[in-house]
Structure 1
Amino acid sequence: MIELKNVTKYFKTDGQKKYILKNVTLTIPSGVNLGIVGRNGAGKSTLLRMLGGIDFPTVGTITSPNSFSWPMGLAGGFQGSMTGRQNVKFVCRIYGKREEELQEVIEHVREFAEIGDYFDMPIKLYSSGMKSRLSFGLSLAFDFDYLIIDETLSVGDENFKKKAKDALMKKIERSNVLLVSHSMADLRKICDAGILIDDGKIFYYEEIDDAINAYHNINIAKTKKNGVASSAIYCSDGKCFDNINDAASFYKIRPMSIIQALNENNGSNVYLKKVFWRDGQNKLPFQNWENVVAMETLISSDGVIFENALEAAFFYMERFPKKNIGKMHVAEVMQHENGFSKTLNVKFYYLSEYQ
């Protein structure tokens, strides 16, 4: 449980008070993975730090019997003239690790961070990525009631990102999470409940989808008020997304699939069997793809529709030049019963059969 009592937080800029919270009282129940949403500058990160006891209210109190991590991936607390190994030892001693535990943590962080000989060199010689790797590995070496995550779900190159995210997801199975993220897909995947912070006020929602939808509604209203076109995308299953990329990420398809639905098929996505529409447009009834040529028009397992196999091949050749696929690749794949390309990890269907 985390309890806020009459909490006010502000910063002074140019002699003016910039309020993050104004006299907020709220109880966040135990056992909840909490997502924090709000517009840029609303104070999400400041609220996150206060909930975790890293920052403090100007007025009021925030109390909890739980333990909190430092923000995942944050490297600002390292001492630059000390080595990576020495910094890890220092943190272990702060948290009361016994000697045998200390050695286990050091070895875990050394292996996980994958920074080689730099582990025994001063931190001031590290790149920002190396510092983040060290901090991320160190964060995972401790058990906390709550993990504090401010955007950073993983760090490093693609291989390390997968390793880090997999390790983090395992950690989340044993801890609760306080997460700030612009990725609605990550929030939905990880969080149960949500907090919307807006104009110095906090709104708590027992369902993360309700928090996300409330955030979208505020975002849309303010962009319209400022004369800016909204990029929000609505779906017939009741979900709302900031933009096409967020929607595509959530449904695990390519953005092109949703663009095709919006621009070419009255919003109907035949792969998902859902209808999408832009903010300000009306929802239309679902319809199948028009002008289908039997045994020629294709649909891929990432949702994109192609007039023929050659068009599909050129699409993937452009996006994955390192795959070195030929222009006949998709045509050859379609000659096999399953229509699956191991090279692209994509399955192709004739759209006339898929419908």
Structure 2
Amino acid sequence: MIELEDVVKDYKTNSGPVRVLDRVNLRVHPGQQLGILGRNGAGKSTMIRLISGTELPTAGSVRRTMSVSWPLAFGGAFQGTLTGYDNLRFICRVYGVDPADCVDFVEDFSELGIYLREPIRSYSSGMRARLAFAISMTVDFDCYLIDEIIAVGDARFHAKCMVELFEKRADKAKIIVSHDPGYVRQHCHNAAVLSDGKLTYFDDLDPAFEHYAEVTSARAAD
């Protein structure tokens, strides 16, 4: 399970501290597929970073009894001077996976060809995203974190990613943050709405979408 209890996140700015998350509470169970809806700037990516452990809350606690992925297709943690292959080996060691069991899959899935053995600094953003997604699929996480709609490669490659994640790993928990209710409806069982630092959870999708439409309309009218 993943549990957030009274989580607060403040950031320092030149105008003083800004509270992005204000006493957020959430539980995600094994196999649950949860969508978190919010407008741009609502704090969705902040929540993903807190859940993944890459950031710590200002107050409150985040507890995990499930293994949690990094945000899928995020290649920002790659070491640019190393090759894609060497980055793969390093990440596998961190997560206790034998790199020899992963190379063939990553080579085939990422479709990087000879560039897998070239330095990451020579990659385009799309190549980084394809490598990051492929490596994410080599580690058997209990919960996958998805920050907005996964946009990896062309339509054919994107469809391949969706099969790998949502069909072959249908039994895994997923937390999807998005501003798109249609994407959440397609992939999630439950939803929560993040607005003004507060998180409101709904067991059913339709009430969540109605609440999201209300808070979005209210903010647009301000």
Where on the TM-score scale, by shorter chain, does this alignment land: which range? Answer: over 0.9
How big is the shift at 1:53?
2.0
* Distance of 1:39 and 1:77 partners within structure 2: 26
> Residue 89 of structure 2 corresponds to which residue in structure 1?
89
Aligned to 2:60, what secondary structure does the other structure show? strand
Higher strand fraction: Structure 1 or Structure 2?
2
The corresponding residue for 2:176 is: 179
Indicate the residue corresponding to 1:216 in structure 2: 213
* Cα offset, 1:26, TM superposition: 3.9
TM-score, normalization: structure 1? Answer: 0.60
Which of 132, 136, 139 is the equivalent residue of 2:136?
139
Supply the AA of the counterpart residue of 1:211.
A
Paired letter, 1:116: G
Distance in 2 of aligned mates of 1:46 and 1:125 = 29
Larger Rg: 1
Between the aligned partners of 2:113 and 2:30, the Cα distance in structure 1 is 40
User: Quick check: 2:69–2:144 contact (8 Å CA) kept in 1?
Assistant: yes
TM-score (norm 2): 0.94
Q: Which runs of 5+ in 2 are unaligned?
A: none
Offset at 1:184? Answer: 1.8
Paired-residue identity, %: 39
Question: How has the CA–CA distance of structure 1 residues 59 and 177 changed in structure 2, closer, same or farther, with 3 Å as cutoff?
Answer: same
Q: 1:240-289 deviations in whole A, cap 9, x for unaligned?
A: xxxxxxxxxxxxxxxxxxxxxxxxxxxxxxxxxxxxxxxxxxxxxxxxxx
C-alpha distance in structure 2 between counterparts of 1:183 and 1:27, whole Å: 22
> What runs of 5+ residues in structure 1 fail to find an aligned partner?
227-355
**Deviation, structure 1 residue 23:** 2.6
Match of 2:166 in 1: 169
Taking a change above 3 Å as real, the CA distance of residues 28 and 104 of structure 1, as seen in their structure-2 partners, is: closer
Partners of 2:52 and 2:68 within 8 A in 1: yes
Aligned CA-pair RMSD: 1.5
Answer whether contact 1:3 1:63 (CA < 8 A) is retained: yes
CA distance in structure 2 between the aligned counterparts of 1:73 and 1:152, rounded to whole angstroms = 10
* Residues 210, 29 of structure 1: alpha-carbon distance in 2 compared, 3 angstrom cutoff: farther
Q: How many residues matched? A: 222
Counterpart code for 1:129 = G
Task: Write the distance in 2 (CA, Å) between the matches of 1:121 and 1:66.
Answer: 34
